Each structure stands twice: as C-alpha cells, then as structure tokens.
Amino acid sequence: MSSQRDDSGASADPADPADPAARTPPRHVDLHTHSTASDGLYAPAELARLAHEAGLDLIALVDHDTTAGVTEAQAAGQALGVRVMPGVEINTTLFGAGDAHILGYEVTPDDASLDRNLSLLRDLRERRGERMVEKLRVAGFEISWEQVRALADGTVGRPHIARALINGGYATDVSDAFARYLTPGKPGFSPRYKLSADDAVRIIRSARGIATLAHPAAIADLETSVLPRLVAAGLQGLECYYGPRNEATSYGYYDDTTVAWLVGLADRFELIATGGSDYHGPRMHPTPLGGRYVPPVAVTRLREAREAALARPAEEFILPTPEL
Ligand SMILES: [Zn+2]
Ligand SMILES: [Zn+2]
C-alpha cells in the first residue's frame, strides 16, 4: 500500500509540512492532550517539549472549544521532531440524557466557521462561569470573577473556579471543590448550555475534521442507539485506547476487555480506532503523557480521512445562537 501512496493532496493541507519526513508514519503517539489554551497545566510549547521527553513523535492537541494552542505547539514540536496534529474537544449532551465529548482531529485550525462556532461555545462557557461565581458570591463566598479569570490562560471552566475556591481556603483540592460546590444541587452550580452531540459532529465536519467519540466506555446504549445516530450525523472515529498503562493509577483505565469491545464496535461501524492519555498535567489527571499505547495506524487512517474530507464538497454548519 505504501508504494502506491499518492502524495498529490499533501501540499493542499496547511497542517502538514512539505517536509517528506513529516509523512513518515509515527511510532509513538498520544492523540488526546490538553494545554493551557484550555484546562491543561502546561503551555502548548512546553507540552511539545514534554512529549519529546516522553519519547513521543506525534501528539494531537485537543483543547476544549479552542485550537488556539496548535500553532505554538507545532512550532515548538517541529524543532524537536514532534508532530502536533490540530484538534479540538467539544462537550456535548447526548440526545437529552448524559454527556459525551466529541473530538475533532485534523481540523483546519483557522477555518472561519470553526472559529465562529467555537467562539460561541467559549462565550457560553464563560457566561456560565460568571453565573457560577455570582451564585457563590451570593452564598457568601469571597471570590471574584477577576480572580477566576486570572487563573485561566484560555477558556474559563469549572477547574478555574475550583482553584479560586482552593486559594480562598474553601476547598482542599479540585475534586473537593467540585464535590462541595460545583456539581448539581451544590451552591455554585449552574447548568451548561446543552450542545447536541450531532451538532458537534457537524461543527467538526464543517472544518473538514474527523469527528470522534471520546472515552465512550461508560456511555449508556452506545451500541444500540448512540453510535448508529452519531454515525448517521458523520462520526468517523471512536476512542478505544484510553487511560494510563500503569494499573497502579487505574483512574479511567480501559482494560483489555474494554479495548477489545470498543475496537470491535469501531470495526462494525467502520470507525477509526483512536486513543490517548487525556493528559492535562500531573495534578489534574493521573495519566502520564504518552502513558497509553495507541496503534500508530490510527494516525495514517486519520490522515487518509482528512484527505478525503478535503476532496469532498463543503458541509458548512453554523450553530444558531441559543437564547439563554
Ligand atoms: Zn473528555
Ligand atoms: Zn480531554
């Protein structure tokens, strides 16, 4: 197959340097990482450096609702021989019940409709943060929106409010803050805007990205209703390899049985089996960068799907502004 490789589409893709070395299949990959552009602890350039240290030659940067870190990570990675695949992760609601995260791989980072859709989502997220801080203030907590805002380099999320609460002496750590103040029924909770999973798939396809269902093992009715519906909307990948290799830190770990089940589903629905560590940094997520083996063929298949996406007619999608 590789001797028949057709490179004609390569130069059309701004995310792929013309350098032929960039076309060599990577061997050590992590397709799920976060930086300070969303809620990760390391700046994009630092993340690329850590990836190099961890022996990775490709990472996908999938910050929540933003591709703002991609250029910096790519520039830093290029100097070290670490390729950075542009991506994004979008939180959604599954058809009225339950949560699902949709990953977009190989999106065009500066795509105009992607920018518009993601900035609307960030805006809604920010307004939710403001509502939560306001509720906490009314309940007597001495924290301010300015304090919370200063803790986030990019999009504000509940982790930043949690850190403001820790700084104010109201909680011992992030999970303590979530459990006591920031979950349903607690004084600082406000519900988020409910983006449907199929609309997230459409947002990613509109940027000619590869929509992938993240960490799906715990999703109810995955085989019978969720996958059929998302595949109909244009889903192309399923995160089958997830969590740390080290069983001592078994948080979120997908064991062999789970992986085999998910890979079987990916085959059945003709989805690309992806995976990664969901690295956020040591204090936020116990998974080491590169800590989960992901078959590098996933990268090849994502690239093939990207080239097919570039060749098809545009599927422009703009999310309507919700009334809140
Ligand atoms: Zn996620
Ligand atoms: Zn994630």
Q: Read off the pLDDT of each residue in 52-75 and give the average, rounded to a whole number.
A: 97
Q: What's the CA-to-centroid distance between 32 and ligand 2, angstroms?
A: 6
* Ligand 1 mean position, distance from CA 92 (Å): 10
Tell me, what's the pLDDT at 60?
A: 98
Span 124-133, pLDDT tens digits: 988 999 999 9
Kindly give the distance from the C-alpha atom of residue 176 to the centroid of ligand 2, in angstroms, as a whole number. Answer: 20
**Orientation angle between helical segments 112-138 and 158-167, nearest 10 degrees:** 30
The rounded Å distance from CA 309 to ligand 1 centre is 24
The pLDDT score that the predictor gives to residue 19 is: 52
pLDDT of res. 38 = 87
Whether the per-residue pLDDT at 135 is higher than 90: the answer is: yes
* Average pLDDT of the segment spanning 19-34: 80
pLDDT beyond 50 at 146: yes
Note the pLDDT of residue 22.
55
Q: What ligand is nearest to the CA atom of residue 215?
A: 1
Average pLDDT, the chain: 89
Strand order from edge to edge, sheet including 29-33:
29-33, 58-61, 83-93, 99-105, 210-213, 237-242, 272-276
What are the pLDDT digits (tens) for 278-299?
999 887 666 789 989 999 999 9
CA–centroid distance, 6 to ligand 2, in Å, is 33
Return the ligand number nearest the Cα of 40.
Answer: 2
What is the distance in A from the centroid of ligand 1 to the CA of 102?
8
Which stretch of 67-81, 115-129, 150-164, 170-184 has the lowest confidence by average pLDDT?
150-164
The confidence band for 157, taking pLDDT boundaries of 50, 70 and 90, is confident
pLDDT band at 249 (very low <50, low <70, confident <90, very high): low
Find the ligand nearest to 63 CA.
2
CA of 21 to the centre of ligand 2 (A): 28
How many A from CA of 2 to the centre of ligand 2? 32
In this prediction, residue 250 carries a pLDDT of 56
Give the amino acid at 167. N
Of 237, 199, 196, which is closest to residue 215 (Cα–Cα)?
Answer: 237
Query: Which pLDDT value is given to residue 23?
Result: 61
Alpha carbons within 13 A on the beta-carbon side of 14: 10
The whole-number pLDDT of residue 247 equals 54
In terms of residues, how long is the chain?
324
- Tens digit of each residue's pLDDT (9 = 90 or more) over 197-221: 999 999 999 999 999 999 999 899 9
172: tokens are: 């011992």
% of the chain surpassing 70 pLDDT: 88
How confident is residue 30, by pLDDT bands cut at 50, 70 and 90?
A: very high
- CA of 101, nearest ligand number: 1
Stretch 34-57: mean pLDDT: 95
Question: Ligand 2 centre from 142 Cα, in Å?
Answer: 30
Q: What is the pLDDT of residue 14?
A: 42
Domains for the chain: give ranges and CATH numbers.
26-109+199-311 (3.20.20.140), 119-182 (1.10.150.650)
- How far is the first Cα of the chain from the last one, in angstroms, to the nearest whole number? 52
